[in-house]
């Protein structure tokens, strides 16, 4: 990543990032997103010298996951244009579908869909909900990672049974085989800390 030699700055958040702050943010760490706290680790945001399709600046970071819009978007967005909502507003789009967000406060839904980086998945990505709010996306998980959060594994097991996987032996075989072409998307409740997950496959 190119460095401007600028002094370290406090992290921007989805509530504080704006055009002026974004313009001064080149080569610093990306803004913080409460519903996707580590988009660099999940692969949604990466270091890049690419120009942002919204603000036309080279901030040192670029978003590389999904964006839904009827408009033709030639390029990708910097994290700051996601955080302040300018990318979603300019291109009339969303970073994640509202599917599964029933019962969540409208403003929080807007923050998830329009001011939070999405993530890549085999199927259309969606957000999970706990304690009446969208949960934070932690990342993709295989069986080993998921097993360290037994409450998430238990919930996934129940959801898969409800989805038609009734044979216990085959269900456990499916769960232990998570990784590769079949994985789990792991989330954490922002209010009680409970982990939850859904299965994603090619």
pLDDT given for residue 33 in this prediction:
98
Number of Cβ within a 10 Å radius of residue 165: 17
CB 51 within 8 A of CB 57: yes
Asked whether the beta carbons of 187 and 193 are under 8 A apart, the reply is no
DSSP-derived letter for residue 111 is H
pLDDT 10s digits, 76-122: 999 999 999 999 999 999 999 999 999 999 999 999 999 999 999 88
pTM over 0.85: no
> pLDDT at residue 182 above 70?
yes
Residue 11 DSSP label: P
Query: Could you tell me the sign of the dihedral formed by the alpha carbons of 107, 110, 112, 117, in that order?
Result: negative
CB 192 within 8 A of CB 131: yes
Q: What is the pLDDT of residue 13?
A: 40
Alpha helical stretches, state H, 103-182? 106-114, 143-147, 150-162, 168-176
Across the range 125-130, mean pLDDT stands at 93
Q: What is the mean pLDDT of residues 14-25?
A: 46
**Helix pair 150-162, 168-176: axis angle to 10 deg:** 130
Q: For the chain, give the number of residues.
A: 202
> Distance from first CA to last CA of the chain, Å, rounded?
33
**From the centroid of its chain, how far is CA 157?**
23
Residues 72, 94: Cα–Cα separation, whole Å: 13
- pLDDT classification of 202: cutoffs 50, 70, 90: low
- Give percent above pLDDT 90 in the chain: 60
Q: Could you tell me the CA-to-CA distances from 84 to 59, 88, 90, 148 in Å, in that order?
A: 15, 9, 11, 34
16, pLDDT greater than 70: no
Q: Is pLDDT at 1 greater than 80 in this prediction?
A: no
Burial 82-93, CB ≥16 within 10 A → b, else e? bbbbbbbebbeb
């Amino acid at each position: 990543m190119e460095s401007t030699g600028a002094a370290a700055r406090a992290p921007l958040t989805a509530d504080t990032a704006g055009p002026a702050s974004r313009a001064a943010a080149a080569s610093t760490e990306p803004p913080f997103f409460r519903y996707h706290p580590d988009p660099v680790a999940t692969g949604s945001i990466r270091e890049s010298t690419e120009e942002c399709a919204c603000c036309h600046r080279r901030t040192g970071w670029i978003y590389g996951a999904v964006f839904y819009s009827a408009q033709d978007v030639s390029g990708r967005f910097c994290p700051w244009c996601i955080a302040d909502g300018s990318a979603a507003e300019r291109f009339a789009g969303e970073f994640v579908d509202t599917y599964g967000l029933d019962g969540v406060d409208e403003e929080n839904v807007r923050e998830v869909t329009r001011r939070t980086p999405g993530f890549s998945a085999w199927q259309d990505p969606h957000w999970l909900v706990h304690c009446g709010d969208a949960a934070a996306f932690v990342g993709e998980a295989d069986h080993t990672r998921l097993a360290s959060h037994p409450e998430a594994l238990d919930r996934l097991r129940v959801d898969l049974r409800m989805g038609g996987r009734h044979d216990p032996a085959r269900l456990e075989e499916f769960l232990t085989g998570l990784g590769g072409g079949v994985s789990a998307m792991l989330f954490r409740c922002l209010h009680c800390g409970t982990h939850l997950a859904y299965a994603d496959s090619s």
